[in-house]
Chains A and B, each alone.
Chain A
Amino acid sequence: MSTAAIEVDGLARHYGEREALSGVSLALEQGQTLVVFGPNGAGKTTLLRVLATLLRPHEGEVRVLGSRVPEESWAVRGRIGLLGHEPLLYRELTARENLSFHARLHGVMPERIEQVLTAVRMGDRAEEPLRTLSRGMVQRVAVARAVLHDPELLLLDEPRSNLDPAAVELVEPLIGAASGRTRVICSHDPGGGLAEADLVLGLREGQAAMLAPAAAVDAEAVAELYR
């Protein structure tokens, strides 16, 4: 059993005749952070969803937390936290009801709900339907949802969008480097992204244009991807 959190070898996924991802390979050790850069449509979200076991690879091998995806996806679910563009929360329900629902799905104790609500400072607004809350607040609840079950691996798609600087600081212990979790982050911010990366992947049109340790990459190289 290897210690790598993620091993990807020749991953390909097509969307009809278009290759959303092709020939992507990488390895990420536990506790490290992979930051994925690339223009829109490059395949960042697709890669994230494959790692989340939501999409199956069409070619290649993918191992997440030691288990093959999709054959052994069942062993991995519940150990991954996904924070995508959508909060994955029901607008008509309150924060507490949403988290309670997810807690039951994951077999998480109710005390944990209060813990995360406090951690994102939504404890006092937890009884209001989400549709009455601002985007920033909903995003905070989404963060709470993503870490509710204490996942070993975090998959974050531009996590700081919709968050004001204060909120960004707030969620840092939960989803930031300090949390100690293995992380894969899709980012459009070369400066900030590079700062927290251990490994950098640059995607363009579904292919890996760049894969290197963060120390070997500078902001200029990242900006190249977008040209």
Chain B
Amino acid sequence: MYGKGLRALSISTVVVMAVALGLVFFWVPLEADQGFLQKIFYVHVPLAIVSLCGFIAGGLFAIQHLRTREQKWDFRSYVAIHMSLIFGLATLITGSIWAKGSWGHWWEWSEPTLVSFLIVFLLYATYQPLRFAIEDPERQSRYASVFAITAGAFVPLNFIAVRSSTAFVHPRVLGATSNLPWQMSLTFLVSLLGMTLLFTTLCKYELTVKHTRAQLRALKRLAERREGKATASLPARGRSAAPRLQATAMRAHTPEARAR
């Protein structure tokens, strides 16, 4: 159910990323002002875009979760946000490197994208502590979904707010993605595609692994129950920030269910 297409996805990710890297390092011309450092642009901006889309996707999945109450949506929401947080951290790091290279300091308040990103990152960094702090799994999923939707709506508003407020003291190099020569545009797009594929593949991978583990646990429980052992004898798992798929996932694969 989850593992379908994982191989095809992984292969295409590797291929596109390889092409992107090749384009970045060997083909696209150097940018006049900044030289080699500017190439971070092809990594930093796609990371940012994918990360933000991931956060919003997390919010959309959360909406589905609240509407249908199906756990799989909360699962997807969690993985999307979790992965976006990692990509977001990478965004901040690459942005910081670029700032250091361009202006000599590791942070730049006048760059609204970077600043908005920091705020969004700080917000989503509280997502896992929030989940971890709620023990009842059903309530954990529900509260996390409410938060994911709120935060998802926050992302665009925050960008507008910060962008309005930033004094354009420095030329906005990081944000200038229009008026690029076609080679740079192409490289950028390929890189963006690669990042998107990478994100999707990693998410799918995490979903598959967790789902498989859940099915394994369910099978174990089923076996123990058949043997007459009380299920209470299973070691209690500790609190976790991640949602756990239920044994009910198994029931979809019973013969009666398949016959439906």
A–B contact with Cβ pairs below 8 Å: the answer is yes
Encoded as 1 (CB less than 8 Å from any A CB) or 0, chain B from 224 to 242 comes to 0000001110000100000
Q: Contact between A17 and B246 (Cβ–Cβ < 8 Å)?
A: yes
The count of residues in chain B whose C-beta lies closer than 8 Å to any C-beta of chain A is 12
In the complex, A205 Cα to B234 Cα: how many Å? 14
CB distance from B42 to the nearest CB of A (A): 44
Chain B residues near A14: list those with CB within 8 A.
Answer: 138, 246
Min CB–CB distance A19 → chain B (angstroms): 8
Contacts of B232 in A (CB 8 A): 205
B39 within 8 Å of A (CB atoms)? no
Instruction: Determine which of B217, B221, B230 lies in contact with A205 in the assembled complex, contact meaning CB atoms within 8 Å.
Output: B230
User: Cα distance A19–B231 when bound, in Å?
Assistant: 9
Q: Classify chain A's interface size.
A: under 10
A68 CB → nearest B CB, Å: 16
The answer to whether B138 and A17 touch across the interface, beta carbons within 8 angstroms, is: no
Task: Report whether A15 and B138 are in contact in the complex, using a CB–CB cutoff of 8 Å.
Answer: yes
Q: Does B247 contact A (CB under 8 A)?
A: yes
A-B contact count (CB 8 A): 18
Name B234's closest neighbour in chain A (CB-CB): A17
Contacts of A205 in B (CB 8 A): 230, 232
**Chain B residues near A192 (CB, 8 Å)?**
none
Confirm or deny: A107 has a beta carbon within 8 angstroms of a beta carbon on chain B: no
Complex contacts, B230 vs chain A, CB 8 Å = 205
Q: Are A17 and B244 in touch, CB under 8 angstroms?
A: yes
* CB-CB nearest in chain A for B139: A15
Chain B CB within 8 A of A165 CB: no
Q: Is B256 close to A, CB under 8 A?
A: no
Residues of A within 8 A of B217 (CB): 17
Annotate A11-33 by CB proximity to B: 1 below 8 A, 0 otherwise.
00011111100000000000000
Q: Chain A residues in contact with chain B, CB under 8 A?
A: 14-19, 205
